[in-house]
Structures are given as structure tokens and as C-alpha cells.
A and B are shown apart, each in its own frame.
Chain A
Amino acid sequence: MKRIILGLVLCFSLVAMATDDDRYNDLGNKIQCSCGCGQILIKCNHVGCPSSDGMIRQLRASLANYSNDEDVLNWFRRTYGVTVVVAPGTHGFELIIWVVPPVLVAAAFLLLFFLVRRWRLRAAPAGVMNLDPGLEALKARARRETEL
């Protein structure tokens, strides 16, 4: 058991140890070029783009200045406005975007679970009462032969 836990801790540590290149790629994919092309910063390839070169330099400088990724993104938000970051934040109003889909999915699964339970409870007695082996065999065969 100890070995498994140790292995898991090692895996998580490896994931956590992001290099500067990883941070550059990760954050560069969360920032939009401000030239108006709508492209991700590190994918912007417009000839003579007035923004991307400067922004990429600023990104590299920010990586050196801030150890926290959220601080880097906040620096870009302050400098270029909130719309420059294409990955919504995980606090305040922007948290809603992350929370709503999983909460709704969980609620839907829960609803499905209760529905299924209710149906099963209702179906069980009816099934026993109407059980006719001959009819059931015919139904089973019809199902097989009209398989969708």
C-alpha cells in the first residue's frame, strides 16, 4: 500500500514540476493576441503583426518575474484588459463558468438515478403479474429478429 501511495505522490510531483517551456506553452495558449486577429498568442502568425512579438517578450519576462501562473495572467489582464485571457479565471464571477457544467451534469445523473430507481420499483410487480412464459418467449424472439 505504501508503495502505491509513494508511486502516486511521485506521479503528481512529476506533473507539478512544470518547466519554463511548459509554462510558456500553457500560458501562451491562454492569452489572445491583441492585434484583433482572434488567434491564441503563440499561434498568431500574421505577417508584421504589431502585437504578438511584443506580447511574447512580455510573457517571457512575466514568467521570470512571477512564479505563480495566475499572477502572469493578471498582469496581462491589467495591461491589455480582461478579454486578453481566453481561459476564464477560477475566482469571482468567472468561477461560474467552470462550476455550472459539472454541477448540472451531476444533477442530471442524480435525476437519472432516481428516475431509474422509481421505474424499477414500478416495473417489478407489473412484470411478475403479467409474466406469461409463452408470450415472453415470443417477445424475446421478436426482439432478436428485429434487432436494431
Chain B
Amino acid sequence: MPTIGSFSLLFALVLALYCFVAGIVALISRHPSAARLGETARRAGMATFIATAVSALALVWAALNNDYSLAYILHHTNRALPTPYKLAALWSGQEGSLLFWALLLSAYGFVLRLRHKVDRQLTAYASVVLAGIQIFFLMLVNFAGNPFGIMDSVRADGLGLNPLLQYPEMVIHPPMLYLGYVGMSVPFAFGLAALIMKYPGEKWIHITRRWTMVAWLFLTCGIFLGGHWAYGVLGWGGYWGWDPVENASFLPWLSSTAFLHSVMMQEKRGMMKVWNVWLIFVTFMLSILGTLLTRSGMVQSVHAFAQSSIGTWFVWMLGITFVVCLFFYIKNRDHLKAENKLESVVSRESSFMFNNLVLLAACFAVLWGTLFPIISEWVRGYKITVGPPFFNKIMIPIGLFLVFLTAVGPLLAWRRTSFASLQRNFAIPVLVAALTGIAFALTVHPWKDQGQFYALMAFALSALVVTTVALEFYRGGRVLQGKLGTNLFGAMYWLTRRNTRRYGGYIVHFGVVVIVIGLAGAAFNQDKEQEMGLGDKLQIGHYELVGQKYTEDDIANYESQAAILDVYKDGKFLRTLYPELRLYKASQQPDHVVAIRSTLQEDLYVVYEGKNPDTDRPIIKAFVNPLVSWIWIGVLVVAFGTGIALVPNAAQLRSPVSVPARAHGDPGQVSGLEPAGATK
């Protein structure tokens, strides 16, 4: 199998090269057979997926069959490793994750080339661009990080998987993140293709937007799954530490979020064409930069699972990408002239511009903080450490301003908004936000602590967003209610069906607000650490932990020590928690299994830290983290909203305004005026 895998990988590279070269020749040639040549290029591109998949399967097969003749399998698995983690070994190390990247890229390419009828010419160009990216990754995986390297001698057992990766979410978090990262290649390919061929009209941007939304959704899920993994495994009570690798995933997320907003300006008003093209270029380049940071060891990271010297490859890739983008931009920039100009500062257009500016500012701040250690090393000869204090100080105000724009933007009209309209739309939301802020201030007195003051702002702004979203649904629903003769909720359902993108977007905004509320809860975190013998008590917040028993276990994969703790809240027994500390035998590395009691109000988070070597007594660390579960719920809402936005609108008959709408029949087919909210 390793031979088959290795050969398939090489064959995939040959196919990608053919797709690239034959694709270019077919596009520039005027020969009658050019179309047939183009078709062979397309099919070769699709075949790269099959070849890469065979290679990936060969590696998985080797992992499942404990083939320790392969260096990669030896270093990332062992016999006692549970099967799901053996599957996860595919992306647990440098070489495997590069192969996985190549596999996902070829899978995206397969779908893109399969759906070539959407627009044959544009797809042909995009296929060539994608083939270029595939060549890079397949060269990398063939020549710089081949996962099919053979050992001189075969060992009886492997060295095991990093214990931090032996966690259910690690089976799904990296694929999600990679689907997001790699997915950004497709909008990039379409964007560059449209620029190269001076694509007329905005259809390309419509195609690109859907691909970007899919990639964005994966990236969002991947980032938050990573946060959930960190929360459950690292045992420090947090979910985001502004680690360079975390930042690397956040950068393309920020720029793609900006793109998803500004793209509406181009579709709707023919504006910001240059900006959009560069946003999509930058998003792809940030994905590559993120991989460079992760793989090269340029910056220190707790995620240093797979560092090596392949950074140079990524630097070249980044450089070439930038030069190609710049070349075609300079060559064809006349094609990107805006059709309209901004007419008023108080308009939907300007809110999108502010939104983009703030998102890009956030992106720059994260990039700046991440790269500053490297800059300081160049300038001063040593690496300054940039950690959470810097990022929190810069990013929290930016985040709050974004939440404010999330509330304001959708209520502004295209072109210009009148003062009367502002008054009408903002009176209730502002009142609700002010009341929320006052109620919170009177309860918590947040002026004693900067974090709590930010939390006050977050809650008030969240109330602003929730009210605006609710009002949009309500106003739209009320208009449709009369026309459809259904109840308000039925009307809201049809409202969403009729404009999935708009109302799906509102649901995403609502999800973001739920996440923000969860993040704001961190301002009220409590923690306490103490030695606990049998019967000893630890008091934190309303909770009391009582040490009931301490056990040890020894199974094939690891040895463990665990505490059995009874939890009481205000004197009433709640449940028993089992925090655990494992020592993995193959790698001899320890790992925490955190016990969490999660409610909507707060998480009780308990870590067994091991025994004090001086007293031999167990050390327990407990945290009370308010509102954390809101973050995970918010992500589900975001995913749901994105899913809705991806669904096509229900069929609509656009009849003249004067024709009365039918009160009965299929509401999806009923037409009439857009609801009042939709005109905003």
C-alpha cells in the first residue's frame, strides 16, 4: 500500500501539471481542437482527486494496520491508539496534514470542475488557477514532506499520537479548519480568473460568494471547535489564548467576513470592485501565511505539532501569488471601475465601508501582534513576546464597534437614509439597549473593572442588535401576515424563505451576538486552587466541592489518576465530577481530562492537577466561568443562519404592485410588495 500511495501522489502531481499546462494552452489557443484539449485538462483536474484520495487512503490503511515501516505512522500512532485517532493520524503530523490539504484542494477542484456548466469559460480559467495551487501542494507533499518515507528497520510499536490530540474534537476540528482554509482557494481562483479574463457582469461574484460562504462556515466551525478543544483539554479554563496558530486561523476569517459584506456593494451598486478582488486575494494569501506561521516555527506556539523547514516553500508561494495578483490587477484594472459612487454618509453603503474598514483593522491588528516578535528580532535581535494583554486591549474595542455596526448597518437604506427613517428604526432598539445597560450597571457596578465595563458595553450593544434583528423579522412578518392570511410566525417563515440571504444573514448576526454575550461572561470568571484530601472542601462562588475519592487506573494506552468530587450548590447536592490526569505510555506525556458542569448560566470547570510532590496530596483547580455555553450555542446559530443564507430563495412571482395578492394558496408563490423592513 505505501508504494501505491506514493505512486498515486506522484501521479496526482503529473495530472495537476497537465491540467495547468493544457488548460492554459486551450485558453490561449485559437485552434479548433482547443476546446477538446480544455476538456482533457478539466478531466485531468478531476482525476487528481481520485489519485490524491488513493494516496490518502493508503496512509490511513497503513495507520489502521500498524504499518510501522512508514516513518509517519511510527511517529504518530501506536497499537493501543483507538481507531478514530488512527484515522485522525492523517492530519496529526506535518506530512499527513499536507497530504490532507492536497486531498481537500483536489476535492474542491473536483466539484468546481464537475459544475463547469455554471459558466464554462470562467470555470476553465478558475480550474487553471486551482491547478496551479494544486501543483504547489502536490510538489510539497511529494518532495518536501512525503508521508510515505520508509524506516530502515521496523519497530514493534509506534511512538503514539500527541496526547493533546487524543480528544474527540480533534477528529473533526482540523478537517473543519482545513475545509475553511482550503475552501478559500476556490473564491480566489474565481476572483483571479474573472480578473484575467475581464469577466463581464457580476455573475462571477455571485458564484464566488456562495463558495466563500461555504468556506467561511467551515472556518467558523473549525475555529470554534478549536476553542472548545482548548477549553476541554488544555485545562487553563479558557478557550482562546491569542496563540499565533489561533491567530493564523482568525486572519482569513476576518478578511473573508469583510468580503462577504462588501460583495453586496458590488452586486447591488457595482461599487468596490477593486476592494473586493483584493479582499479575496488577501484572504487566500492569509490562508497561506497562516500555514507558513504554523509550519515554519517562525513564531512560538503551543500548537507546534508539526514544525519543519518547509516555511521557505510557503514564502515562495506567497511571493508568487502576490506578484501574479498584482500583475493581472495592473494589467486589467480598468475593468474594475466602479459604476456608482457613494451618495451619503448615512447609507447602507457607508455602513458596509465602515464594517470593512473595522474588520480589516482587526485583521491588521492581529497580524501585527502575531508578526511583531519577528519584527522585533530583526530590529533588536530578540523576540518580544506578544500575548493576550496586547490583543485584548486592541481587539475588544474593535469587536464592540463591530457589534455596533452589526446593529446599525441593516437599518440603513441603500443610497441615503432620511432622519425620519433613522428615528423610526432606531428609537426602540436604542431604548432597549439603554435599559439593558442601565439594568446591568445597577446590578454589577462595572466601573470597578475595565473587563466588566466592556461586558456592560457588550450586553447593551447585543441588546441593540437583537432588537434590530427582531424588529426586522417582526415588521417584515406583519406585512406578509396580511397578504398571506397566516399567523405572524408563518409569515416570518415565508419572509425568510423569500429572501434567505437577507434573513439568514440576520440569523447569523443573532448568532454572533449570542457568542459576544458568551465572551463577555469572561469578565466575571473566578478560579481557585487548593490541595484536597478526602473529605476536604473547596468553596468557589456558590459551589462547594467535596473530595470523595481518589483513584488510579492503568489501561493499554495510558495510566491515569482521577478525583471523585461531589458538587454542592448553596448546600444542595448537584452531581459528582471526575477530573482526570492521564500519562500516555507511548509518548510519556501527561494530559488533563477536565470535568465540566455546564449550564446556560455558568460552567463549573474542574481540573485535577496531580499530586503535590511534597505532601502527596491531590491539587484541584476549579473555575466558575459564566455564560461559556452561550458561545457554543451561538456558533450553532451562526451555522444555522449560514445554512439558510445558502438555500435558494423560494420561487416568487413578481407581479405588478397594483395586482392584489392572493390570501390563500401556496404562500411561497404569493407575490406583492416587499415587507417594509426589506426596503431598509
Contact with B along A28-53 (1 / 0, CB 8 A): 01101000011110011111100000
Contact with A along B359-393 (1 / 0, CB 8 A): 01100110011001000100110111111111000
CB-based contact B385/A86 at 8 Å: yes
A32 interface neighbour in B364, B387, B448, B607, Cβ under 8 Å: B387
Question: Which of A11, A15, A101, A112 has its CB near the most chain B CB atoms (within 10 A)?
Answer: A101
Identify which of B98-106, B342-350, B456-464, B661-669 touches chain A.
Answer: B342-350
> Does A91 make an interface contact (CB < 8 A)?
no
CB-based contact B679/A101 at 8 Å: no
Given A86-B389, A120-B343, A122-B341, also A39-B372 (CB < 8 A): no
A93 interface neighbour in B340, B380, B610, Cβ under 8 Å: B380
Q: How far is the CA of A60 from the CA of B29 in the complex (A)?
A: 75
Residues of B within 8 A of A38 (CB): 243, 300-302
> Does A143 make an interface contact (CB < 8 A)?
yes
> Does A105 make an interface contact (CB < 8 A)?
yes
Q: How far is the CA of A83 from the CA of B534 in the complex (A)?
A: 41
Q: How far is the CA of A88 from the CA of B621 in the complex (A)?
A: 29
CB-based contact B581/A87 at 8 Å: no
Given A45-B607, A45-B609, also A39-B379 (CB < 8 A): no
CB-based contact B372/A88 at 8 Å: yes
Identify which of B60-68, B233-241, B509-517 touches chain A.
Answer: B233-241
> Does B414 make an interface contact (CB < 8 A)?
yes
CB-based contact A147/B448 at 8 Å: no
CB-based contact A120/B342 at 8 Å: yes
Q: How far is the CA of A8 from the CA of B414 in the complex (A)?
A: 40
Residues of B within 8 A of A97 (CB): 368-369, 372, 384, 386, 390
Q: How far is the CA of A32 from the CA of B611 in the complex (A)?
A: 23
| A-contacting residues, B513-566, CB 8 Å | none
CB-based contact B357/A108 at 8 Å: yes
Q: How far is the CA of A105 from the CA of B394 in the complex (A)?
A: 11
Q: How far is the CA of A104 from the CA of B372 in the complex (A)?
A: 16
> How many A-B contacts are there with CB distance less than 8 Å?
134
Given A43-B236, A43-B237, A105-B361, also A83-B581 (CB < 8 A): no
A47 interface neighbour in B268, B341, B610, Cβ under 8 Å: B610
| B-contacting residues, A38-95, CB 8 Å | 38-40, 43-48, 81-88, 93-94
A116 interface neighbour in B350, B383, B499, Cβ under 8 Å: B350
Contact with A along B126-156 (1 / 0, CB 8 A): 0000000000000000000000000000000
Residues of A within 8 A of B364 (CB): 101, 104
> Does B402 make an interface contact (CB < 8 A)?
no
Q: How far is the CA of A32 from the CA of B389 in the complex (A)?
A: 11
> Does A5 make an interface contact (CB < 8 A)?
no
CB-based contact B581/A147 at 8 Å: no
> Does A132 make an interface contact (CB < 8 A)?
no
Residues of B within 8 A of A82 (CB): 382, 384-385
Give the Cβ gap from B293 to chain A, nearest Cβ, in Å. Answer: 15
CB-based contact B342/A116 at 8 Å: yes
Give the Cβ gap from B588 to chain A, nearest Cβ, in Å. Answer: 13
Q: How far is the CA of A144 from the CA of B654 in the complex (A)?
A: 12
Main secondary structure of the interface of A (DSSP, over half): helix
Residues of B within 8 A of A147 (CB): 499, 502, 674, 678-679
Residues of B within 8 A of A127 (CB): 343
Give the Cβ gap from A71 to chain B, nearest Cβ, in Å. Answer: 17
Give the Cβ gap from A100 to chain B, nearest Cβ, in Å. Answer: 6
Main secondary structure of the interface of B (DSSP, over half): mixed
> Does B167 make an interface contact (CB < 8 A)?
no
Residues of A within 8 A of B365 (CB): 101
Q: How far is the CA of A14 from the CA of B382 in the complex (A)?
A: 38
Q: How far is the CA of A114 from the CA of B27 in the complex (A)?
A: 42
Residues of A within 8 A of B414 (CB): 143
CB-based contact B385/A83 at 8 Å: yes
Q: How far is the CA of A101 from the CA of B390 in the complex (A)?
A: 11
Which residue in chain B gives the minimum CB-CB distance to A118? B341
Which residue in chain B gives the minimum CB-CB distance to A147? B678
Q: How far is the CA of A37 from the CA of B224 in the complex (A)?
A: 22
Give the Cβ gap from B628 to chain A, nearest Cβ, in Å. Answer: 16
Which residue in chain A gives the minimum CB-CB distance to B347? A116
Which residue in chain A gives the minimum CB-CB distance to B674? A144
B368 interface neighbour in A11, A93, A100, Cβ under 8 Å: A100
CB-based contact A148/B502 at 8 Å: yes
CB-based contact A87/B300 at 8 Å: no
> Does B483 make an interface contact (CB < 8 A)?
no
Q: How far is the CA of A69 from the CA of B531 in the complex (A)?
A: 30
Which residue in chain A gives the minimum CB-CB distance to B672? A145
> Does B447 make an interface contact (CB < 8 A)?
yes
CB-based contact B679/A48 at 8 Å: no
CB-based contact A14/B389 at 8 Å: no
> Does B633 make an interface contact (CB < 8 A)?
no
Give the Cβ gap from A148 to chain B, nearest Cβ, in Å. Answer: 5
Residues of A within 8 A of B386 (CB): 86, 88, 97
| A-contacting residues, B600-622, CB 8 Å | 607, 609-611, 613, 621
Given A43-B236, A47-B609, A109-B357, also A32-B385 (CB < 8 A): yes
CB-based contact B610/A48 at 8 Å: yes
CB-based contact B387/A93 at 8 Å: no
| A-contacting residues, B275-319, CB 8 Å | 300-302
Q: How far is the CA of A88 from the CA of B341 in the complex (A)?
A: 42
CB-based contact B447/A14 at 8 Å: yes
| B-contacting residues, A130-148, CB 8 Å | 141, 143-148
Q: How far is the CA of A1 from the CA of B241 in the complex (A)?
A: 43
> Does A6 make an interface contact (CB < 8 A)?
no
Q: How far is the CA of A116 from the CA of B384 in the complex (A)?
A: 39
Q: How far is the CA of A43 from the CA of B388 in the complex (A)?
A: 12
A145 interface neighbour in B241, B340, B380, B654, Cβ under 8 Å: B654
B264 interface neighbour in A30, A119, A123, A148, Cβ under 8 Å: A148
Q: How far is the CA of A48 from the CA of B613 in the complex (A)?
A: 7
CB-based contact B448/A43 at 8 Å: no
Q: How far is the CA of A144 from the CA of B236 in the complex (A)?
A: 51
B379 interface neighbour in A93, A101, A144, A145, Cβ under 8 Å: A93
Q: How far is the CA of A98 from the CA of B391 in the complex (A)?
A: 10
CB-based contact A119/B342 at 8 Å: yes
A123 interface neighbour in B342, B357, B621, Cβ under 8 Å: B342
Pairs of residues from A and B, 3 with the lowest C-beta to C-beta distance, nearest first: A86-B387, A47-B610, A87-B389
17 A-B residue pairs with CB within 8 Å: A11-B447, A15-B449, A38-B300, A39-B302, A43-B237, A82-B385, A83-B385, A93-B380, A97-B390, A101-B361, A101-B368, A119-B341, A120-B342, A123-B341, A144-B673, A146-B268, A147-B502
* Residues of B in contact with A (beta carbons under 8 Å apart): 235-238, 241, 243, 264, 267-268, 300-302, 340-345, 350, 353-354, 357, 360-361, 364-365, 368-369, 372, 376, 379-380, 382-390, 394, 414, 447-450, 499, 501-502, 581, 590, 592, 607, 609-611, 613, 621, 654, 657, 673-674, 678-679
* Residues of A in contact with B (beta carbons under 8 Å apart): 11, 14-15, 22, 29-30, 32, 37-40, 43-48, 81-88, 93-94, 97-98, 100-101, 104-105, 108-109, 112, 115-116, 119-120, 122-123, 127, 141, 143-148
Known: A14-B447, A15-B448, A112-B357. 20 other contacts (CB 8 A): A15-B449, A30-B389, A47-B590, A47-B610, A47-B611, A82-B385, A86-B385, A86-B387, A86-B389, A101-B364, A101-B394, A104-B361, A104-B364, A116-B345, A120-B342, A123-B343, A144-B673, A144-B674, A144-B678, A147-B499
